[in-house]
Amino acid sequence: MKCVLAGSNVKAFGKAIHALSRVGEDLWLDPLEKGLAVRSVNSSRSAYACFLFSPLFFQHYSKVTTQQPLDEGDVEPVLKCKLTMKSVLPIFRCLATIERNVERCKIFINFRDSHVVFQFSCRHGITKTHNLGFQECESLQAVFPRDMCPNVLKAQARLLGDVVMHFPVWQEEITLAVTPVKVSFRNYFEEETDLTKVMHTEISLNPDEFDYFQVGVDSEITFCLKELRGLLSFAESTGLAVSIHFGTSGKPVAFSIDDMVLEANFVLATLIDTESQAASPKRPHRGTLLQSLAVMTQPTVPLAGEMELAELARTGHEGSIAMETSIPELPQALDREAELVISSQGSAIFNGKAARESVIACHWSEYGVGVHMDQIQEEAVGVVPATIGHNKVRTGCFYNHGSSHGDTIKQQDHPYFVNQVQLLRRGWTKVLCWNGVRGIQVSRLCLKGFSGVPCSSTHCCWRSPPSSVERMPWCCPAWCVPVTTRRSWRKERRSPARTLSLS
Amino acid sequence: MRFRAKMIDIGCFNHFTRVVNTISKLTKTCTLRLTTDKLYFILSDKVANGGVSMWCELSQGNFFDEFQLEGVSTEHNEIYMDLAAENLSRALKTAHNAKSLKIKLTNKHCPCITVAVELPSLSRVSRVVTHDIPVGVIPRKLWNDFKEPSVPDFDVSIYLPPLKTMKNVVERMKNLSNFLVLEANLNGEMNLKIETDLVSVTTHFKDLGNPSWGDNGSQDSTQDRDPETMMDVKVDIRKLLQFLAGQQVNPSKVICNIVNKRIVHFILLHEDVSLQYFIPAHE
């Protein structure tokens, strides 16, 4: 593995290391196709943290270190290595100094000498090289189908920072309680604590304060605040929003940050609520991630014996993979025969074809528009898996293939990566795309456009979104839809905006 | 027993917070006495405190917009309770931009002072932070332990130099010795002295000014005394430092009364708050 970080990204990387250091004592480095995954897990296996930096975060990124052809029969091992936090953290300890002095940081794995090398090119021609010994290890991954969680909250990091500010630094655990009308955080004490001596703090928030609020089931989960603080301070410093996916008590909670160039996931186990236990009242104990996840994992996934977390070697298969949608009414379009590749980000495993079918089915049932399935598939240009690349799970790839919209669409073969697909009311979809260079572009598509059917509606595609919309953040599976270029979008904006009524 | 109070002015929050922070730096637990027109933070001079005692008085009208109190009985319309000042300080810490602050006496799992802070939020509904601070209600029969201390029959009364300067000096001295002698005279001069086997250090302050106490009895007895005579008291340096370092309220003047070799008494006056602190001489 070899990568080069430049400028302010070195500081962001350092901040991520700081956040991971709050979780565990070891750091796992896992170079993947889709980027560099840096992970940590705590000793009791009740907290898992992962940062995935996409290749765009780096000036240069390659999964393999050597480009030379190997000897016959040899496969260059894709090296996963484990470093101690004690050795890595001091390198990134003083972020202010790094910001001031370091121009570039090169990280590569020298597997001959069993070292991970961090090389800082600093101002005044100074180069600092740190050689850290590593241990080879198996991949560390947490299996957590985030999209199956009934409760999803998304908030700006500032909001969460304001909440945890009310709890003292030494507060170990807090309880998050949600109902459809209220969200509250309160501190949690073990049973042995003398309740007459400690101060109880509770903060309640209105659901309006969240960027996204979905409560499928009322629940109260208790998790460790200390481990989370690392992620919250990372989010605050980078200004990104944090999503929280969780279910009932006992099931893990996932805190994630998604950005174009990086993703972070912190999965924490929650305390099992003893009151709901039937016979023997047990002391509340923290369910391990394994226990909590046992229910959720696919039957075809072998759980490796004694291991607390399912540690699976990546197979790198690009074939069709199973996905489950979070829409309960839909039939599960799972492709059971497929090789299950667990995303290291903990997001749902994925079947492009089934997803497309099920999503479209959803649209149809919700909006009452009928389009024949075959027609859709005929019109839509097949997705070429090889082009999906590192954005496979989270994003998809758009090609425009000639559109009837009548606008100039340049760069016919230029892929646009989909960042987010938002379903608006009345059959409209907002698609946020990014072409790898120029930043976010927005397309609004009607249902037909969404499915790849040529659309003659003048509203389609070009309206800048109105201010209040109903949002449903989605992982966008890969399919093809026509998309406008930035220029055409800008052109359209100049004409007086006709607001779309969404009532 | 009932108690409810509400504060809505930001200036009041800050002021109240500073007072409570000062109290929390001086002592871990103290007694809160509530009457219909005042609040008192009291630390009585038990052996456990090392003989140090404190009396802080605030006029509730200067802080609270609403204040309702029903004491233990009609003739004794007051409530005394034990409270960890640090908890109250922590509860108030995040109230600096609050819309309102409500304090009430509640009975959750045990008697508590509940501080409910209403904070501005991004939505139309404010955020509410509730802190339940456990307290111990003190029964009527023990109320005599918490009487207001009388101003002692002092020998010298003098204004202190700026607290910050004095704190810096005492901080340095703390590293050298455990005890400090504080002496002053009626001529506006004060010395802080430490003495060890190896070294003795004295810091001299002058032109401090002496407050006149009107027709206070003790004033007469000092008429005959030579204004140059120094009256001193030897105190534990850490206690003195605790007093000096904890000050967050910027008092206009601090008066220091010394009873020769017995006790030193500090009085801070700041607008509507008065704080008295006694440090006995070390035996």
Both B123 and B39 in a single domain?
Answer: yes
Interface confidence (ipTM) of the complex? 0.83
From the CA of B90, how many Å to the nearest CA of chain A? Answer: 8
The average confidence (pLDDT) of chain B is 87
> For residue A425, what pLDDT band results from cuts at 50, 70 and 90?
very low
Q: What's residue A74's pLDDT? A: 52
Both B16 and B105 in a single domain?
Answer: yes
Instruction: Answer yes or no: is B278 within a domain.
Output: no
**Percent of chain A residues topping a pLDDT of 70:** 51
- Smallest Cβ–Cβ distance between A199 and the set B87, B122, B123 belongs to B87
Both B238 and B142 in a single domain?
Answer: no
Side-chain half-sphere exposure of A172, counting CA atoms within 13 A: 7
Indicate whether B114 pLDDT > 90.
yes
> For residue A33, what pLDDT band results from cuts at 50, 70 and 90?
confident
Set of chain B residues whose Cβ sits within 8 Å of the Cβ of A206: 121, 123-125, 127
End-of-domain residue from the set B91, B120, B146: B146
Q: Do A200 and B108 touch (CB under 8 A)?
A: yes
Both B127 and B224 in a single domain?
Answer: no
End-of-domain residue from the set B101, B121, B146: B146
Q: Which residue has the higher pLDDT, B80 or A425?
A: B80
Instruction: Answer yes or no: is B275 within a domain.
Output: no
Structural domain span for residue B10: 2-146
pLDDT, one tens digit per residue, over A347-400 is: 444 444 454 444 444 333 333 233 333 333 333 333 322 222 222 222 233 333
Strand A47-53 versus strand A35-41 pairing type: antiparallel
Q: How far is CA A71 from CA A65, A74, A76, A237, in A?
A: 15, 5, 9, 47
Instruction: Answer yes or no: is B260 within a domain.
Output: no
pLDDT, one tens digit per residue, over A259-274 is: 888 999 999 988 886 5
pLDDT, one tens digit per residue, over A157-196 is: 989 998 998 898 888 899 999 999 899 999 988 877 777 7
CA–CA distance, A182 with A481 (Å, rounded to integer): 39
Both B132 and B210 in a single domain?
Answer: no
**Minimal CA–CA distance to B278: which of B167, B145, B152, B186?**
B152
- Smallest Cβ–Cβ distance between B109 and the set A195, A199, A204 belongs to A195
As for how many domains chain B has, the answer is 2
Q: Do B128 and A196 touch (CB under 8 A)?
A: no
| Interacting residues of B109 by C-beta distance below 8 A, sequence separation 6+ | A195, A196
Q: What's residue A13's pLDDT? A: 93
CA–CA distance, B95 with B116 (Å, rounded to integer): 10
Q: Do A209 and B110 touch (CB under 8 A)?
A: no
> For residue B72, what pLDDT band results from cuts at 50, 70 and 90?
confident
Set of chain A residues whose Cβ sits within 8 Å of the Cβ of B112: 200
Both B189 and B160 in a single domain?
Answer: yes
Both B137 and B24 in a single domain?
Answer: yes
Q: What's residue B148's pLDDT? A: 86
Both B185 and B95 in a single domain?
Answer: no
Q: What's residue B224's pLDDT? A: 61
Mutate to test the interface with A, among B83, B124, B131, B133 (most CBs of A within 10 A): B131
Instruction: Answer yes or no: is B232 within a domain.
Output: yes
Both B82 and B197 in a single domain?
Answer: no
What mean pLDDT comes out for the span B210-214? 81
Instruction: Answer yes or no: is B8 within a domain.
Output: yes
Instruction: Answer yes or no: is B261 within a domain.
Output: no
With beta carbons less than 8 A apart as the criterion, state whether B118 and B35 touch.
Answer: no
Instruction: Answer yes or no: is B192 within a domain.
Output: yes
**Minimal CA–CA distance to A490: which of A440, A420, A456?**
A440
pLDDT, one tens digit per residue, over A191-225 is: 777 777 888 999 999 998 899 999 989 999 999 99
CA–CA distance, A369 with A367 (Å, rounded to integer): 6
What SS3 string covers A22-66? Answer: CCCCEEEEEEECCEEEEEEECCCCCEEEEEEECHHHCCEEECCCC
Both B175 and B139 in a single domain?
Answer: no
Both B135 and B37 in a single domain?
Answer: yes
pLDDT, one tens digit per residue, over A107-147 is: 988 878 888 899 999 999 999 999 998 887 777 777 777 88
- Smallest Cβ–Cβ distance between A197 and the set B121, B123, B134 belongs to B134
Set of chain A residues whose Cβ sits within 8 Å of the Cβ of B129: 166, 201-203
Set of chain A residues whose Cβ sits within 8 Å of the Cβ of B86: none
The average confidence (pLDDT) of chain A is 64
Supply the CATH number for residue B122's domain. 3.70.10.10
Q: What's residue B12's pLDDT? A: 87
Q: What's chain B's Rg over C-alpha atoms?
A: 21
Token pair listed for A469: 């919309």
Set of chain B residues whose Cβ sits within 8 Å of the Cβ of A207: 123
> For residue A412, what pLDDT band results from cuts at 50, 70 and 90?
very low
CA–CA distance, A4 with A118 (Å, rounded to integer): 10
With beta carbons less than 8 A apart as the criterion, state whether A266 and A231 touch.
Answer: yes
H or E segment at B117?
Answer: strand B111-119
**Minimal CA–CA distance to A171: which of A151, A186, A160?**
A186
pTM of the entire structure?
A: 0.65
State which amino acid sits at residue A240: L
End-of-domain residue from the set B146, B177, B197: B146
Both B138 and B202 in a single domain?
Answer: no
> For residue A153, what pLDDT band results from cuts at 50, 70 and 90?
very high
3-state helix, strand, coil in chain A (%, to 5): 25, 30, 50
CA–CA distance, A302 with A297 (Å, rounded to integer): 9
Q: Which residue has the higher pLDDT, A476 or B61?
A: B61
**Minimal CA–CA distance to A55: which of A239, A262, A238, A257?**
A262
Q: Which residue has the higher pLDDT, B25 or A465?
A: B25
- Smallest Cβ–Cβ distance between B123 and the set A199, A203, A208 belongs to A208
**Minimal CA–CA distance to B132: which of A198, A361, A257, A80?**
A198
Instruction: Answer yes or no: is B136 within a domain.
Output: yes
Strand B127-134 versus strand B38-43 pairing type: unpaired
Q: Do A199 and B110 touch (CB under 8 A)?
A: no
Query: Which three-class secondary structure state does DSSP give residue A473?
Result: strand
